[in-house]
Amino acid sequence: MAGKEKDNTQPAVNLSLLDQSAILLMTLGESAAAEVLKHMGPKEVQRIGTAMATLTNVQQYEVEYVLNNFMTEVRTQTGLGMGSDGYIRNMLVTALGEDKANGLIDRILLGGNTTGLDTLKWMEARSVADIIRNEHPQIQAIVLAYLDADQSAEVLSQFPDKVRLDVMMRLASLDTVQPSALQELNDILEKQFAGNAGSQVKEMGGTKTAAEIVNFLDSTAGSELLDSIKEIDEDMGTQIQDLMFVFDNLRDVDDRGIQALLREVSSEVLILALKGADEGLQEKIFKNMSSRAAELLKDDLEAKGPVRVSEVQGAQKEILTIARRMADAGEIMLGGGGAEDMI
């Protein structure tokens, strides 16, 4: 009887890119990992640091998998020997997107110094608020537009209601900021920028940024601020409200809320709205229906065929209007950074 062969097949590796990055940094050692982290922004450091802290029981074959992937990337994409700023710019833009890459490009290619505004991103919200508390509201608005929405919301919460309103009205009205204004702001913060401020105006602020910040305020403060904005400029307040909660955010509503919402929405409107939804949101809807109803809805979606984008957007807006009405009545809770936890 022949002996049984040993199975050398390794288990499948199911690691996210974030986990792979965390494993790679941990294999580099403290000094090398620190050098890598220096080139990351505060959000990236926080995310990868959290991933590193939560890694447990990493297997040898997983480490080998990560290292092999990394070496493959280095062999095929590295720019060693090219000495090209253009290569670095293109690489960062491809990896991070143009908006996110621009700040890193300046720091890496212009000497590695951090501007005053970038320094604020690493500070506690209370400290940022103290720094800009006595500045002109327009300066405060530019700072909040520059920071990430969740940090801006924390900073804004440190100000009195009247100041919040003034700053948010200015921020929502922002469109672009001249480089000279950003340079002046950096001077106010007593930081030196390595190089020049560039020649392109920078898009900052606007109702979308305002909506993101309000979303991260606690629900009471956010509602009061939005009501105050509407009293001064109803159109602006409505625009901000429309941008605060979009159709894709329904995935953040709990199952009980989805079920309550579905009872208020007609099948035809739901079919149209889901034609423009991604698979994740569709599955969220399906799982909150009976098996029979879900199968019928899937069949109707397939049979519907192509529809106009305007029809899809109209249906989604109708559902969002119902969702907001139910939220105002306390029947459901809409998701978002500023939503309160339920006890």
Q: Do domains 117-241 and 246-328 have the same CATH topology?
A: yes
- Indicate the pLDDT class of residue 259, thresholds 50, 70 and 90: very high
Q: Which has the minimum average pLDDT: 196-210, 297-311, 314-328?
A: 196-210
149 against 259, higher pLDDT = 259
- What whole-number percentage of the chain has pLDDT above 90? 7
Residue 73's nearest CA partner among 63, 83, 65 is 65
The SS3 call for residue 202 is strand
Does 117-241 carry CATH code 3.30.420.40? no
Q: How far is CA 207 from CA 145, 198, 244, 282, in A?
A: 10, 25, 9, 28
Residues 246-328, CATH architecture? Orthogonal Bundle (1.10)
Q: pTM of the prediction?
A: 0.42
pLDDT category at 93 given cuts 50, 70, 90 is low
pLDDT tens profile 219-236: 678 778 888 888 888 888
DSSP 205-217: -SHHHHHHHHHHS
**CA separation for the pair 187, 139 (Å, rounded):** 12
Lowest mean pLDDT among 58-62, 91-95, 130-134, 183-187: 91-95
Residues 94-106 have pLDDT tens digits of 666 666 555 555 4
Domain ranges in the chain are 17-66+83-109, 117-241, 246-328
